[in-house]
Amino acid sequence: MTNKKGITPVVALILLLVIVIVIVGFSFEVFQGVVSSAGESAQTQAETTSGQVTQTVRIESVDAVIGAVSVRNIGSAAINATNVGVYADGALVDCTGDWSSELISAGGVSTCTDSGIDSCTSIRVTSPSGASQTMDC
């Protein structure tokens, strides 16, 4: 008679449980990383969208006679005027006066003056959020 020795059912069960626990632990770590990065991405996107809503401008008026465009901050946060782009016929305008150091409060109006505005056919204003508005001169 041959004596064959093998693992007992109890040892086999313990080994299977250890293997299952290791697989579950590994899966948990992988999925936790995926969920965490997805959450961070959603938070970043929400912060970007919020910033875009709070920093928006529109053209209030254009005076081609004196070469001035008035811009209103329609967002809910103050905007540094240097972050607002003013374009006359597609060319960036170098606004003079207090424009470069001015902070446009929420609901406030600021005026950009430049000699390029008095001979333009269209004015485009871009906000820090990237939104833009165009108006004929």
Query: 93: which DSSP letter?
Result: P
Q: Tell me the pLDDT tens digit for each residue of 56-88.
A: 888 999 888 888 899 998 888 888 888 888 999
Whose CA is closest to 98, among 125, 80, 73, 117? 80
Determine the 3-state secondary structure of 1 from DSSP: coil
The amino acid at residue 111 is T
Q: Tell me the pLDDT tens digit for each residue of 4-24.
A: 666 788 888 899 999 999 999
pTM across the whole model: 0.59
